[in-house]
């Protein structure tokens, strides 16, 4: 199983300041393509729950194979993932 890490960024309909950012790991042993598709579906679900109006272009998915690159990118969004629990 390949270690994959992902970020789902859902921008608010009126402002990028109203973004929701969630992090995920590849717990189900998916390959990179399936993991990306799963994260995209998660992003759509987050948008549907939180916003009345959203564009699919407002949902961004980032997938990482490097733990260090993932942690660095999380820092840009002020997220500190606890990967020890995973």
With vertex at residue 50, the alpha carbon angle to CA 70 and CA 69, rounded to the nearest 5 degrees, is 5
pLDDT, residue 16, reads 62
pLDDT per position as a tens digit, 66-84: 999 999 999 999 999 988 7
The model carries a pTM of: 0.86
The dihedrals phi and psi of 37, each to the nearest 5 degrees, come to -65, -40
pLDDT, residue 78, reads 92
* Bridge partner residues of 20 (DSSP): 10
pLDDT, residue 73, reads 95
């Amino acid at each position: 199983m390949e270690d994959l890490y992902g970020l789902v960024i859902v921008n608010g309909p009126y402002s990028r300041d109203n973004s929701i950012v969630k992090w995920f790991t590849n717990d189900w042993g998916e390959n990179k393509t399936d993991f990306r598709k799963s994260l995209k579906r998660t992003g759509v679900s987050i948008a549907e729950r939180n916003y009345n109006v959203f564009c699919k272009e407002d949902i961004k998915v980032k997938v990482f194979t490097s733990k260090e690159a993932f942690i660095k990118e999380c820092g840009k969004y002020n997220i500190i993932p606890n990967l020890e629990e995973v």
